[in-house]
């Protein structure tokens, strides 16, 4: 018997649908970019937890600067690196709200290092989502604080040389040492399994705010296929082979 | 009380929701006073010491974006660090109050008073075409009164307001009449008063986005024009200044803040000598009392702009005067404060005799 597509698309067969909090605006990310996946997961989590009216998001300067176009909640756009300071100001004055920042590695671990460390050290009751793609995606692929040794970028075209450029920075391990952080984890979004785990972590990051016991910090080891000059598939493979050994996945702190 | 303490007292009384700051002389008493007064136990005001002025101005941004009354204070080197935040606040059309208790620069400079941050305050300071509303208190009473005035103007125009003080007014002790306590806005009142604020998006309204990014050049040109319209409206409606003996003046002193106090004495000394000298004290430095100065040009023959700098405000006086009468600058710098006698001597040498 021949099955028509119309017989399959029925409410009882629905296994997945676009989050109602995702707007109709087409995302501007390069195809294959991790940002799109994480944006979508955040929309799903806010929707599933019923927190649309309770959430205020903070976007960074970086490829995700226009994230506020995609998720239907209230947003503030920060100067480069200052999202944790905005998050602090928002949460201190609206402790009844759920507050999260979403930042790239240049934003969070270079220009915003002080704001990141001090927000975590004060234990601001917010969630920080950290997209580590090892590069400055937005500005065209320059070296980031997280660029691996030997990894090429436009400002280290022959590879990162630790003697000249310093070593890649593991910010997540650093903030895990601070008493102000409550939940610190490193996740990825390259497989269905990884996506499920990341979603669980995000749910925890939001739920933790109910208890006011410190900062939740979720790193997502990510790809930037454009900046890395690879296809999305190659970029995922390269990430598994090269990024994961230096940025191992898993919970670092959960108290 | 001290000028800096008056700022703190007035902030609590006029219903400020949050103060974020970083210590620097000569204004650390602002945060110290707030911490001693513990307003979080009374009005619910939040007071937090940030890790830097960069952080404090961005905490202000976050709070302001929620429609709250938030402020910070600092002195010159710290306010330099805030310039990025200030242009973002202006670009995102957020109201807030910043107090600069100016000390001498450039560089780390001195902790002694100066008025050498005038350009930074009224001509922009950060990047882009924007203005701050700038108020210049000349007494401890005005330090207190201008906190509320600055918030009123900041919210009226959705623009950051700066109180440009200096180490002399900040540290000086004077009697102050403080206003009675006002309630802070409730979150419900904020929803009503500031529908643009990020307060959490209910189903029935569009999401609120606080941002200064606009990648469409035509849209961004329109936005820039809109900001300029706002600044023109301020120039029309918000100029404030004080005039002493200007009606019959042959010569005019123009001075703001602590320098205006010295010039008041200088004016009296000159009058006692038989010189018809008046004083115009700008209270708003942006918008500037251009028209008020122009109105005196029928009888005023020369103007001395007096400030604790190498000559910054004098440029705005010259723009107002447009070459019609002689305009010169006088001022001591580096933390040195001019005496009334020095001002009279400079007036006689540079304007009357010159
Ligand atoms: C003060 C300041 N300096 C530099 C820039 C330019 N800039 C924009 S985004 C960016 C780096 C973004 O990299 P990252 O945070 O890793 O985000 P990604 O694009 O990789 O997601 C830089 C340097 C800026 N906007 N502001
Ligand atoms: S440049 Fe990189 S980080 Fe930016 S959208 Fe493209 S793939 Fe993503
Ligand atoms: Mg990056």
Q: Does domain B3-187 sit in CATH 3.40.50.970? A: yes
Average pLDDT value over all residues in chain B: 97
pTM: 0.97
pLDDT in tens, A47-77: 999 999 999 999 999 999 999 999 999 999 9
The band of A1, judged by pLDDT with boundaries at 50, 70 and 90, is low
Q: Which tens digit of pLDDT belongs to each residue from A4-14?
A: 888 888 888 88
The reply to whether B3-187 and B241-352 are identical in fold is yes
Q: Using N-to-C axis directions, what is the helix angle for A34-48 and A192-207, rounded to 10°?
A: 50
Is residue A154 in a domain? Answer: yes
Taking the CA of residue A104 and the nearest CA in chain B, the distance in Å comes to 17
Q: Is the CB of A143 under 6 A from ligand 2?
A: no
Q: How far apart are CA B92 and CA B214, in angstroms?
A: 11
Interface residue of B71, B210, B212 to substitute, partner A, most A CBs within 10 Å:
B210
pLDDT band at B43 (very low <50, low <70, confident <90, very high): very high
Q: A89 and B61: CB-CB below 8 Å?
A: yes
Instruction: Write out the residue range of the structural domain in which residue A98 sits.
Output: 29-135+142-247
Q: What are phi and psi of A33, to 5 degrees?
A: -75, 140
**Is there a domain that residue A41 lies in?**
yes
Alpha-helix residue ranges (DSSP H) falling in A135-219: 162-165, 171-176, 192-207
Task: Give CA–CA dist B352/A42, Å, rounded.
Answer: 71
The answer to whether residues B330 and B351 touch, using CB atoms and an 8 Å cutoff, is: no
* CATH number of the domain encompassing residue A215: 3.40.50.970
CA distances from B217 to A66, B90, B220, B274 (A): 16, 18, 5, 60
**Rounded-to-integer distance, Cα A147 and Cα A106, Å:** 10
Distance A29 CA to ligand 2 centre (A): 6
Domain contains A197: yes
User: How is B91-156 classified by DSSP, letter by letter?
Assistant: HTT--EEEEEEEB--STT--SSB--TTHHHHHS-SSSSS---EEE---SHHHHHHHHHHHHHHHHH
Domain count, chain A: 1
Q: Does A66 sit within 8 Å of B199, measured CB to CB?
A: no
Q: Can you tell me the distance from the alpha carbon of A184 to that of A121, in angstroms, rounded to the nearest whole number?
A: 13
Asked if residue A166 belongs to a domain, the reply is yes
Residue A177 lies in a domain: yes
Q: Output the pLDDT for position A9.
A: 85
Alpha-carbon gap, residue B248 to B258, rounded angstroms: 24
Fold that domain B241-352 belongs to in CATH: Rossmann fold (3.40.50)
Q: Is A52 within 8 Å of B203 when comparing Cβ atoms?
A: yes
SS3 label, residue B18: strand
Does the residue A11 lie in any domain? no
Q: What is the mean pLDDT of residues A112-138?
A: 98
Domains of chain B by residue range: 3-187, 241-352
What is the model's pLDDT at position B354? 67
Q: Over 70: is that where the pLDDT of A31 sits?
A: yes
Token pair, residue B299, equals: 């009888």
Mean pLDDT of A204-215: 97
């Amino acid at each position: 018997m021949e099955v028509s597509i119309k017989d399959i698309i029925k409410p009882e067969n629905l296994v997945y649908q676009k989050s109602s909090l995702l707007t109709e605006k087409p995302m501007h990310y390069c195809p294959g970019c991790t940002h799109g996946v994480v944006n979508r997961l955040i929309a799903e989590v806010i929707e599933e937890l019923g927190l649309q009216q309770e959430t205020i998001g903070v976007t960074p300067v970086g490829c995700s600067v226009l994230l506020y176009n995609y998720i239907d909640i209230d947003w503030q756009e920060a100067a480069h690196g200052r999202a944790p300071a905005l998050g602090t100001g928002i949460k201190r004055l609206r402790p009844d709200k759920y507050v999260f920042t979403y930042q790239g590695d240049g934003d969070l671990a270079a220009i915003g290092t002080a704001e990141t460390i001090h927000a975590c050290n004060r234990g601001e009751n917010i969630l920080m989502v950290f997209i580590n793609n090892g590069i400055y995606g937005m500005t065209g692929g320059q070296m980031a604080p997280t660029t691996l040794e030997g990894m090429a970028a436009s400002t280290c075209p022959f590879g990162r040389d630790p003697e000249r450029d310093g070593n890649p920075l593991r910010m997540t391990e650093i903030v895990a040492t601070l008493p102000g952080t409550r939940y610190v984890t490193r996740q990825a979004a390259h497989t269905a399994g990884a996506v499920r785990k990341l979603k669980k972590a995000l749910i925890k990051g939001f739920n933790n705010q109910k208890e006011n016991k410190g900062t939740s910090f979720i790193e997502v080891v990510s790809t930037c296929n454009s900046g890395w000059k690879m296809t999305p598939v190659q970029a995922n493979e390269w990430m598994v082979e090269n990024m994961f050994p230096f940025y191992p996945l898993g919970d670092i702190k959960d108290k | 009380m001290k000028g800096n303490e008056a700022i703190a007292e007035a902030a609590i009384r006029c219903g400020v929701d949050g103060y974020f700051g970083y210590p620097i002389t000569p204004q650390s008493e602002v945060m110290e006073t707030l911490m001693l007064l513990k307003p979080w136990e009374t009005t619910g005001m939040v007071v937090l010491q940030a890790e830097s002025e960069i952080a404090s101005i961005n905490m202000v941004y976050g709070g302001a974006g929620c429609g709250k009354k938030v402020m910070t204070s600092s002195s010159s080197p710290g306010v330099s660090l805030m310039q990025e935040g200030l242009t973002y606040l202006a670009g995102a059309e957020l109201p807030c109050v910043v107090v600069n208790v100016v000390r001498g620069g450039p560089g780390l400079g001195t902790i002694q008073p100066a008025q050498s941050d005038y350009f930074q305050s009224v001509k922009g300071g950060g990047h882009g075409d924007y203005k701050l509303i700038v108020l210049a208190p000349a007494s401890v009473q005005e330090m207190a009164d201008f906190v509320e005035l600055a918030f009123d103007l900041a919210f009226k125009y959705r623009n950051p307001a700066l109180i440009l003080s200096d180490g002399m007014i900040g540290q000086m002790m004077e009697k102050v009449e403080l206003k009675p306590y006002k309630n802070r806005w409730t979150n419900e009142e904020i929803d009503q008063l500031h529908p643009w604020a990020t307060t959490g998006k209910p189903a029935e309204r569009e999401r609120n986005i606080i941002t200064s990014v606009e990648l469409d050049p035509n849209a961004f040109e329109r936005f820039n024009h809109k900001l300029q319209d706002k600044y023109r409206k301020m120039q029309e409606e918000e100029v404030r200044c004080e005039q002493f003996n200007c009606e019959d003046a042959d010569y005019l002193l123009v001075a703001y803040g602590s320098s205006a106090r010295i010039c008041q004495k200088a004016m009296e000394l000159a009058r006692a000598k038989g010189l018809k000298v008046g004083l115009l004290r700008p209270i708003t430095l942006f918008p500037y009392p251009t028209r008020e100065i122009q109105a005196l040009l029928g009888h005023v023959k020369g103007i001395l702009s007096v400030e604790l700098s190498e000559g910054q405000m004098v440029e705005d006086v010259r723009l107002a005067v447009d070459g019609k009468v002689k305009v010169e600058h006088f001022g001591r710098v580096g933390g040195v404060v001019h005496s009334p006698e020095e001002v009279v001597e400079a007036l006689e040498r540079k304007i009357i005799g010159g």
